[in-house]
Amino acid sequence: MRIELPCRYWHGDSLAFDGPGGILAHAFFPRTHREGEVHFDYDEDWSVGNAVGTDLLQVAAHEFGHVLGLQHSLEPDAVMSPFYSDAYPLKLSEDDTRGIQHLYGPPTASRPDRTETNHIDFGELDACTTSFDAVSMIRGEMFFFKSRYVWRIRDGRLQAGYPALASRHWRGIPDHIDAAYEDKSGNIWFFQGESYWVFDAERKITGPDSVRQLGLPVSDIQAALRWEEDDIEKVYLFKSASYWSFDPQVNRVAAVHPRSMHRWGGLPGHVDAAFQDRYGENRTRRVLWTSTWSSADCSSLALTGYANFLSGLHYWRFDPVALKLLEGYPRSIGGDFFSCSV
């Protein structure tokens, strides 16, 4: 086993660290080109044996599990839980024990099958075959939401450690969300059922609050699209074949009665998610972001790409200014965003 400490940001393995918080460390599984290596993020506040900072032993034990071949566990008290815990004393859970015995134990009749463990079933979380609940550009990165989980794409690459529980970033959001968007000030809005939440980076500002306070006459919004043009911010909230125009200046919809999506010609009647990209050809201004999630750092964020609508396993790219669908769409979500074979 080879342990590397410290490492900062890009450190030679194409898996950059992200500064304080977020990804604490990563390891390489058996039978990979860097098997046995464990890297720790230099910028964490590391400590040993106390509640101050991030405990090195807790994180190391988790990463050593990966080196041995263990995947993440859904058991919250497991060493192989995907989220940091400072619970003491450090000990293996029953699920950790079953997992390691499955990999290395003697072939006895009592050895449990993999289906009896509580590891995350990545077949169910396969981005290539998943229809997502919500998608949003947040701090210049793309976040895809499904059930309790989120995928994080930076500069076109899925980041290490994902999918992960969305509560890793936004503690207090519900187990699944219906829609999400980041507003002009850098706050993130989440919608689920009859409620909405607002976060400043990872800190909850408000929620759950009723969507009725926003003037919405319905619940279960399916998609939220923020659009900014000439420094004027617009937000559209979609459900079925209708949408409402939401005014961020007064936090109210412009009218109780919805408009028809027929004017968005060529789009499917049902959308799962929507987001404005920053990759539109000859239409993109630079997006400023830093490794920290400070809304002040992102106050100049301005997106000028296209509107993207997801339905099932496909997405449509739309020009809201010209009110037309771009040629060649729909396309595969998995193929274009997760490099899946289609």
Residue ranges and CATH numbers for the domains of the chain are 2-116 (3.40.390.10), 127-337 (2.110.10.10)
Instruction: State the catalytic residue, choosing from 4, 35, 37, 63.
Output: 63
pLDDT of 308 over the 90 cut? yes
Whether pLDDT at 264 is above 80:
no
The tokens of 212 are what? 């009725």
User: Has 44 been labeled as part of a binding site?
Assistant: yes
Q: Is the predicted pLDDT of residue 227 greater than 90, yes or no?
A: no
3-state SS string over 233-283?
A: EEEEEEECCEEEEEECCCCEECCCCCEEHHHCCCCCCCCCEEEECCCCCCC
314 pLDDT above the threshold of 50: yes
Q: Is 178 annotated as a binding residue?
A: yes
Which has more pLDDT, 210 or 69? 210
How many helices and strands, by DSSP H and E, does the chain display?
Answer: 3, 24
Q: Is 230 annotated as a binding residue?
A: no
Which tokens is 12 given?
């030679």
Q: Please determine, for residue 213, whether its predicted confidence score (pLDDT) is greater than 50.
A: yes
Q: What share of the chain is helix, strand, coil (3-state, %, to 5)?
A: 15, 30, 55
Phi, psi of 326 (to 5 degrees): -70, 150
Q: Is 41 annotated as a binding residue?
A: yes
Query: Is 39 assigned a ligand-binding role in the annotation?
Result: yes
The reply, when asked if residue 19 is annotated as ligand binding, is yes
Average predicted confidence (pLDDT) for the chain:
78
Q: In the structure, what pLDDT confidence band is assigned to residue 294 with cuts at 50, 70 and 90?
A: very low
With beta carbons less than 8 A apart as the criterion, state whether 299 and 317 touch: no
For 248-256, the CB contacts below 8 A with 24+ separation are 248/183, 248/184, 251/213, 251/214, 252/214, 252/215, 253/214, 253/215, 253/216, 256/215, 256/217
Is 176 a known ligand-binding residue?
A: no
Under the banding of pLDDT at 50, 70 and 90, the label for residue 190 is very high
Does 133 show up as a binding residue in the annotation? yes
Among candidate residues 74, 182, 82, the one with its CA nearest the CA of residue 134: 182
Peptide bond into 208 cis (omega under 30): yes
Greater model confidence, 286 or 306? 306
pLDDT band at 9 (very low <50, low <70, confident <90, very high): low
Task: Please say if the pLDDT value at position 153 is more than 50.
Answer: yes
pLDDT at res. 162: 87
Q: Supply φ then ψ for residue 61, to 5 degrees.
A: -60, -40
User: pTM for the whole thing?
Assistant: 0.59
Alpha carbon distance 140, 133 (integer Å): 20
pLDDT band at 165 (very low <50, low <70, confident <90, very high): confident
User: Does residue 319 have a known ligand-binding role?
Assistant: no
pLDDT digit string, tens, across residues 54-94: 888 888 889 898 888 888 888 878 888 877 776 667 788 88
Structure tokens at 206: 């408000």
In this predicted structure, what is the pLDDT of residue 248? 86
Of 247, 244, 225, 234, the closest CA to residue 181 belongs to: 225
Q: Is the pLDDT of residue 113 over 50?
A: no
**Is residue 116 predicted with pLDDT exceeding 60?**
no
Is residue 63 among the annotated active site residues?
yes
183 is in an annotated binding site: no
Percent pLDDT > 90 in the chain is: 25
Where b means 16+ CB within 10 Å and e means fewer, 281-306 reads eeeeeebebeeebebebbeebebbbb
For residue 183, give the nearest of 168, 200, 160 by alpha carbon. Answer: 200
| 163 has a pLDDT exceeding 70 | yes
What dihedral do alpha carbons 334, 146, 154, 58 form, nearest 10°?
-130
Report CA Rg, the chain. 22
Distances (CA, A) of 51 to 42, 47, 56, 337: 19, 8, 11, 39
* pLDDT value at residue 12: 64
Distance separating alpha carbons of residues 37 and 24, to the nearest angstrom: 15
